[in-house]
Structure formats: structure tokens, C-alpha cells
Amino acid sequence: MSDQEILNKLRDTVVTQDISGCTAAAKEALEAGMSAFDAINGGLSPGMKIVGDKYELGELYLPHIMMSAKAMDGAMAILAPELEKDKTGENVGTAITFVQQGDIHEIGHRLVSIMLGVNGFDIVDLGVDVQNERIIAEIKELKGKKILLAGSALMTTSMMGQKDTMEALENEGLRDSVKVMFGGAPVSEKWVKEIKADATARNAADAARIAVKLMK
């Protein structure tokens, strides 16, 4: 099977909620010598994008999305340990990763956390639906360290919460002690500039590359 056929299989098993097929395709990808990152970025993620589009068009419903997410999860359980094998020895700082309050979309957040970890960050993963108070408390706890905040929001509503996070940092006098990167499907360069965060990234590999640069 060619690389493109394997990527199509990864994509299609996500779209059709084929849980066992998706896990099998992830194993096939590794056996064929494909990098875990290419399998995720070129196969699973495009599959999820199609699922989202079909949901919006009313062609798929919430239970379908949940099953697609489960299919992707199964494949990620095979692929994530491979990503972690590329971990660099150099420490560039501590990344506090989280999904904004009110938002439980965790797939992209987990991927970003893994890629930051692989690229030299110590990871403090606060998980999903995280309140600003928790973020502020964690920053205070880590005082003196080089800190990156890496927040995700997948909905336009939760994206608005990123503005509140920036305000909370200002109010607590902590803005200058952290670098802030926000991402997720609705987050744009324009939005990040507007709320005076430091950066955004379209995918987990870019997130890691940009984050390392921010810490220098």
C-alpha cells in the first residue's frame, strides 16, 4: 500500500467511525515506515476536519463525532508513544497547556502538549474546561521559571475566554512573566493580535517550532 493510500485509510476510518479499522491503519502506517506525525497530520486530522464539516452540513450528528473521536483516540494511542521517542534533551521552559473554560475538545490540545514535550518543554497539563483562576494559580506556583501558556479553544464562544485570560494576567501583574500562545480552529493571527497574546499556530508541529522560538 502506498503512503497516500495509508493516509486515505486513516482519514476515511475517522470519517466513517471505523474504530478498529483506524487503529489497524495506524499500525499499518508505522509498519510502512511512516512517521507518527505524518500519519496524524496527513491522515487523522484531515479526517476530523471532514467530520466537522459534515456535522455543520447536517450530514453527521453528535454521536457520529463522538465515535470519530474514539476512532482517532485509538489511533493516537498507537502513534503518540512514537512521537515521544523523538524527545530532545534540551530544556526550553515549562509549558502550561489547557483548554479554555467551557470547552472539552481535547484532541488538538493533547497533540500540542505532546509536541511541546517532545521539543524540550516540561509540561503542566491542566486538561479541559479550565478556569482562569486555575491558570493564574499555576503560574504563581511556577514563579521564577520560563513559562509558556499554551491554550486551546475549538469554539467561538470559548475563544472569547482567551481575552479574559489575557485580562486576568494583566490584572495579576503576570503578563510580562509568561509567553502566551493560543490555538484551535477558530483562532486567527488577527484575534491573537487583538487580545495581545504572543502567537498562534495552525498545527502541533508549528506550535512547537513557534513556542521554542518564543522562549529564546
Among 56, 58, 144, 216, binds ligand HCB (CB under 6 A): 56
Minimum separation from the CB atom of position 152 to ligand HCB (A): 3
d(CA 97, CA 5): 34
- Mark out the alpha helices in 85-198 (DSSP H runs): 107-118, 132-141, 156-171, 189-194
Interface stretch with ligand HCB, choices 48-56, 82-90, 138-146, 171-179 (CB under 6 A) = 48-56
Give, as ranges, the residues between 109 and 168 that touch ligand HCB (CB under 6 A).
109, 111-112, 150-152, 154-157
Q: Residues 72, 14: contact at Cβ < 8 Å?
A: yes
Minimum separation from the CB atom of position 117 to ligand HCB (A): 13
Whole-number Cα distances in Å, 135 to 18, 140, 152, 153, 167: 37, 9, 13, 15, 12
Interface stretch with ligand HCB, choices 13-21, 29-37, 45-53, 171-179 (CB under 6 A) = 45-53
Comparing CB distances to ligand HCB, the nearer of 6 and 83 is: 83
Please tell me whether residue 104 binds ligand HCB under the rule CB under 6 A.
yes
Q: What share of the chain is helix, strand, coil (3-state, %, to 5)?
A: 60, 10, 30
Interface stretch with ligand HCB, choices 30-38, 61-69, 162-170, 171-179 (CB under 6 A) = 61-69
Q: Angle between the 62-84 and 19-31 helix axes, to the nearest 10 degrees?
A: 20
Comparing CB distances to ligand HCB, the nearer of 6 and 153 is: 153
Among 96, 204, 208, 212, binds ligand HCB (CB under 6 A): 204
Rounded to 5 degrees, φ, ψ at 124 are -110, 100
Comparing CB distances to ligand HCB, the nearer of 1 and 26 is: 26
d(CA 65, CA 71): 10
Q: What is the DSSP string of 132-160?
A: HHHHHHHHHHTTTS-EEEEEE--SHHHHH
- Footprint on this chain of ligand HCB (rule: CB under 6 A): 45, 48-49, 51-52, 55-56, 62, 65-66, 69, 102-109, 111-112, 150-152, 154-157, 181-186, 201, 203-204, 207
